[in-house]
Structure 1
Amino acid sequence: MNNDEIISTLNDLIETSKDGEKGFKVCSEDASGRHPELKAMLAERGRECASAALELQELVRNQGGDPETSGTLSGDLHRAWTNIRAAIVGKDDETVLNECERGEDVAVRVYRKALEQELPTHIRLVVERQYQGVLRNHDVIKVLRDQVRAHA
């Protein structure tokens, strides 16, 4: 894998992390006040995504590239759709968590695709660690969604 391909892969991950940061922020804001711990957890997940993006941006700079600084158009469209849907359906916690899970599904796919590449060892270790965090986020969101659904 050449250096340009490494930078491109890392920039894809940065965009995904930025999408996660923004998505979790929106979900935290949209979650009902009935579960303050849910709002706090979603906000924390957003901060973790921001931290992941910063770490990836540093890797891109170390490779001599220009790191992405924003999310993807599809992430923006997803958040817009989430806001429209919430306005129509209402911002119940199950709907919010469904949207979070949908966003995490995308993150899982992007990280898996990156890990299929021939990345240098030091970069692979970072990507693998972050991927494990994405999987944890996905699993936590799914469990919370199922709990909220069971208590509805």
Structure 2
Amino acid sequence: MKENKEITTVLNDLIKINVDRITGYEKAINDLDSSEVMLKTLFSQVSEDSVDIKGQLAEQVIALGGEPSNERTLPGAIYQTWMDVKATFSGHDTGSTLEACEFGEDAAQKAYQAAIKASTDFPADIKHMISSQKNLLKMSHDLIRTQRDQHKEMAS
């Protein structure tokens, strides 16, 4: 069984990736044209999912005697790949926003995969929580990818 500090470090890294998802989707919502109601709704739901996930992770960190992270810019082994997303949000058109969101979802999947790999000796309930969250984020990833592909088809 892993030490609580090791577990809380992994969970805090996942909190950071979710804080970055929340921030990224809020930016995406603001960058989209007001006519993009469906995408704004989707992005809002994805952001809300991350708020819920962040809460679940924070509860576990507290239960293990740790302090949940609220930061998004400190280096962390798992969430580091998300940082590149910020640079891709320079464009404000729908296509580039969707591509940036998909890139961020790819980074989140990688972070969760790393967390699953690190969690082999974690308690079963924590492993299950991480796996369930990864699956939820995978559904978001697939929705974003579908929207991106549809947007590309319409733009061609």
The alignment's TM-score, normalised by the length of structure 1, stands at 0.89
Q: Give the direction of change, closer, same or farther, for the CA distance of 1:147–1:40 in structure 2 (3 Å limit).
A: same
Whether 1:2 aligns to 2:9 is: no
Letter in 2 for 1:108: Q
Identity of aligned residues (%): 29
Letter in 2 for 1:135: K
Letter in 1 for 2:124: T
Looking at secondary structure, tell me which structure has more helix per residue. Answer: 1
Structure 1 unaligned segments of length 5 or more: list them: none
Whether the 8 Å contact between 1:16 and 1:72 is mirrored in structure 2 is: no
Q: Which residue of 2 aligns with 1:43?
A: 44
Give 1:71-110 correspondences, 5 Å limit.
Answer: 71-73=72-74, 75=82, 78-79=85-86, 81-83=87-89, 85-86=90-91, 91-110=92-111
Q: Which residue of 2 aligns with 1:130?
A: 133
Q: Which residue of 2 aligns with 1:61?
A: 62
What SS does the corresponding residue of 1:151 show, helix, strand or coil?
A: helix
Give 1:111-130 correspondences, 5 Å limit.
Answer: 111-116=112-117, 117-118=119-120, 119-130=122-133
Q: Distance in 2 between matches of 1:17 and 1:11?
A: 10
Letter in 2 for 1:34: S
- Runs (4+) of structure 1 exceeding 6 A deviation are none
* RMSD between superposed Cα atoms in Å: 1.5
Note the C-alpha offset of 1:35: 2.3
Note the C-alpha offset of 1:77: 6.2
Q: Distance in 1 between matches of 2:150 and 2:35?
A: 13
What SS does the corresponding residue of 2:113 show, helix, strand or coil?
A: helix
Whether the 8 Å contact between 2:12 and 2:61 is mirrored in structure 1 is: yes
Note the C-alpha offset of 1:34: 3.1
Q: Distance in 1 between matches of 2:23 and 2:45?
A: 12
Whether the 8 Å contact between 2:46 and 2:140 is mirrored in structure 1 is: yes
